[in-house]
Each structure stands twice: as structure tokens, then as C-alpha cells.
Structure 1
């Protein structure tokens, strides 16, 4: 099905199952199909929704750079909920989708039952902020110059993607094949408009410290530029837990689907039972042992 945003962009939406809604938001290198292992698992007891972000066919590919941005991405996620008549949902995002998930929690917390932020952090580390913005623009240029079909062969072999290839060559090939179908123009504009311009988590510390939505952060231990941002989110968001998958890269939900699904199911169950609480104030970060 399709929904229309307030700026006239049509988004392709798919759903399966019945029950408490879960909205899955894909990464830059994926699309709505990248959540298939989760839709097949969670649609047994949840209403599962996913969509292709603007710039990703069969959704529209706006031709203006100003049609893309972090705030716009968060507004699109809410537009999907509105279009389906969903008041609140568990929001689950990977990488670019993880950033979107955080911003849904910051901008419209009343729409989120919980937030799962997986593999998010690229560009947040201050030491690499300028490098990330520069390499994002270079990636955008390559998508336009070479086209997705050719550049996917390079992008799919990034330092945090080869773990997936080593563990599951067929699954990784499916990922690489989907990447090769990206819109050349849509990928370039998304990289320039969303990725290269999004704010660092560290610049949002005050807002994150006030965000009360139950949150789960998931990172792979070989996804190096997400590790420290993941720790930062854990230490900053009041009701936040952190899970680190061993020997794992960036594409968490596809690389380790069983572990990801089990973790997410447990988190959602705790949230729905009212037991995913803010950190106990007695758990003082500076204390090593109590002496009195």
C-alpha cells in the first residue's frame, strides 16, 4: 500500500500480522525488504509495518536536496503511523533507521511505545565527524558517477559488512543485490541530505537525558564507530539498555537474526509488562564498592 506525506511524497508501506504494532525503519544500505526475517518472526503476534524511505523505490524519489533531512525522516515515520491509523508503536531502526528512531523519540515521544536503536553512531564521534561528512559526500558522488549497480560492489564490502559475508554468504549476497537496485539519485540525495547533515548524538545530550521512552541500543562489537555512541546513549537516556553482539558488524538484524529477534522479543515483553524502567538512582556510575 502507499501513504502520502504532508509534503506530497508517496511512501511504499508493507504490513503483516495483528497485535501491538511494531514499525521497522531500514538503514541506508537496505530497504523495506531488509526486515523480512523480523516480519516473518514478529507478525505471528504483532502488527508489523515497514516502508521504503523517500528516495528508495517503490517510494517516490524527490529530486530536491531540501526534500531530505533528519527531521523529515522522523516526520515520515510518523506519517506512516498516521496513514495506518496507528496511535503508538514499538519503533525499531537500524543505522540510518536507528537515527530516525531516536529522533522520533525526541520529537514525538507520545507515538512510541519503545525505541530499538541498532547499529547507530556513524558520524557521531567528534574525532571523526568531519571525516564522516566528507566521506558521505564522496559516497553520494560515487552513486551518481558509477550507479548503484556498480558501486554496490564496493559499498557492500565495507569494514563492518564483511562479518556478514563471512558468516552467511547467501544472506550477504541478498543484501548486496538489494543495494544494487537502489535509485542512483535517491541514494546520493539521501547521503547528502540525511546522512551528511544529521546531528551527532553528543550534540543532543540534554534532549536525550530528558527522553523517557524505554530504549534498547544494540551494536556489533566489530562495528567500531557505533560502540562509543552506543555507550553514550546507554549512559544518557534514562530508561536505556545496551546489548553488544560478539564478532558482529553493522547489519545486525540480518547477520544475527535469531539473536536479534530473541533480544527484541524480550525487550518488548519487558516494556509491555511495565518492567523496563529508568536506571535505579542507587546504581551510581562513579561507585566501585560501597563502604558505608
Structure 2
């Protein structure tokens, strides 16, 4: 694949550590949504934050991004290109929401580059409610302004009052997407069913921590079921927390994830 433009990325260097952590946000977000992690993480690791194609400051890209649909493997290769550019041989990966599918795809493509994975608010299966929501969005995406759909999704995924900050941040970042880019990412979501099925059935021998909010009713049950057969993975459920656990319970998220990474 020819790269005409690299993803926007930001590096925080550690004076002595040789370990890297790469942060991958979810659909509609940007690297700015990791603001509650940077201070704690940079005490231990070198950090790499990226804006995925079409998101944040990676909004403008090469014509290939604009003229044809793409798959999760293409988005994963974008990230691999950045770590190649920075000569990062191996890294820990921390992801949120649909970003967990991208990290799992990176691990599938280049497992030797992945030291461990922290999967926050992991999406590994759509339940009936979320499948209906995706289907409704698919019917409406060409006639309804995308921000209406995104605000609907945000309220379904993050319905509680204490999730107001998370909803606000994700809706704010989603406004930076254009309608065409939203449709491309929506198509990715709609086509993710088979990919997630493969990930549930096939565990890689890479240490993995799933951090899920106990109130993440759309996605937590599938993770519980999946981990009953996965041996290299563990699950921690964060109390009083929904889907976007790195924001809603940032202190607990940082404590558990950093402790996990330091022991790998």
C-alpha cells in the first residue's frame, strides 16, 4: 500500500523507559479523548497517540482514503505505518470501543509487534439491541444528517446521567467528521460481524486485559462469555461505569491498566 500522508500522531518521550504504549481511539473520537491517561502513563512509558484516518487532525488524507471504501485492515496498516516510521519494534496497545477491533487486527497482522493489549469498552459482538440500531442507521444514513444518528448512538451506548461527559466529548469529536467519512466508518461497523466472530473464536497468545464498565450492557455480556474460553486474557469490571471507562472511571482505568502493563 502506498502512503501519501501519515496519520497525525503525537509522541510523549520518557527519559529512561524503552517501553512504548500506543493509544487507539474509537470511531468518531480522536486522540484527545485520552487526556485523562497521559499524565499517569507518561511516568512509566513512551506514549504514541494517533488520530485514525478521517478523525481529529487526520481528517485530510490522500485521495485513496476519499475515493474508495476501506476495511479494518487498511486502518490497522495506517497505524503500523506510523510505528514503522518511528522505529518502534514492539509496543503495548491501549484501545477504546471500536478501536479494540483495530488493535486486534494489528495483532492479527503483526503479532510480533504487539507486547500486550488493553481493551477498554471492548466491542466483540453486537447484541440484538445494537444490531437493530446499526440496521436502522444503515437505512437512514443517506437521508438523515449524520450527527442526528451519532447523537442517537451516543445516547443508546451511554444512556446514564453520569455518562454526560463521555457523550459530550464523543459528540464534540464526531462533529469533526464529514458526512462521507461517517458513512465509510459506518460501513465498517456494519461489516464487522464476521471479523468479530473470528476474534471471539481465535485467541492470540498475547497478554490481554479487558477493562469494562459494569453498566456496559451492550457489550459486556459478550466479553464475559468470550473470556470463559480465552486463556491469555483477563477481565476487570469497573463499578459505577458504562461504556467509556477511560473517562468515566479514569483513576481505576489507569491503575489497573498501568499495573497490568508493568507486569508484562
TM-score > 0.5, shorter chain as reference: yes
Query: By how many angstroms is 1:10 displaced?
Result: 3.0
Matched, 1:6 2:2: yes
Other-structure match for 2:259: 266
Higher RCO, Cα 8 Å, sep 6+: 2
Specify which of 63, 66, 77 is matched with residue 66 of structure 2: 63
Deviations 1:55-85 (A, max 9, x none): 214213522342x211112222212211211
Report the Cα offset of residue 121 of structure 1. 2.4
Alpha-carbon distance in 2 for matches of 1:222, 1:141: 32
Q: 1:288 is matched with which residue?
A: none
In 2, Cα distance between equivalents of 1:233 and 1:268: 22
Contact 1:252–1:260 at 8 Å: present in 2 too? yes
Alignment partner, residue 230 of structure 2: 237
Structure-1 residue corresponding to 2:51:
52
The 2-side partners of 1:32 and 1:104 are apart by 18
Maintained 8 Å contact 2:10/2:50: yes
TM superposition shift of 1:25? 0.4
Q: Match of 1:82, SS?
A: helix
- The answer for the alignment partner of 1:146 in structure 2 is 145
1:82 to 56, 81, 84: 84
1:87-102 → structure 2 map (5 Å cutoff)? 87-102=89-104
1:122-201 → structure 2 map (5 Å cutoff): 123-125=125-127, 131=132, 133-138=134-139, 140-141=141-142, 145-148=144-147, 152-156=150-154, 158-163=155-160, 166-167=161-162, 169-170=164-165, 172-192=167-187, 194-198=188-192, 199-201=194-196
Extract unaligned runs of 5+ from structure 1: 272-292
CA 135–15 in structure 1, closer or farther in 2 if over 3 Å, else same = farther
Aligned to 2:24: 25
- CA 1:139–1:257 in 2, change beyond 3 Å: closer, same or farther? farther
Q: Distance in 1 between matches of 2:126 and 2:165?
A: 31
**Looking at CA atoms only, which structure, 1 or 2, has the larger radius of gyration?**
1
Which SS does the other structure have where 2:219 is aligned?
Answer: helix
Query: What is residue 111 of structure 1 aligned with on the other side?
Result: 113
Counterpart CA distance in 2 for 1:92 and 1:13 is: 15
For the aligned residue pairs, the C-alpha RMSD in angstroms reads 2.5
Q: Is the 8 A contact 1:218 1:230 kept in 2?
A: no
Q: Secondary structure at the match of 1:260?
A: helix
Q: Superposition pairs for residues 219-230 of structure 1, below 5 Å?
A: 219-230=212-223
Q: Provide structure 2 residue ranges, at least 5 long, that are not aligned to the other structure.
A: none
1:11 aligned counterpart, secondary structure:
coil
**1:202 equivalenced with 2:197 (yes/no):** yes
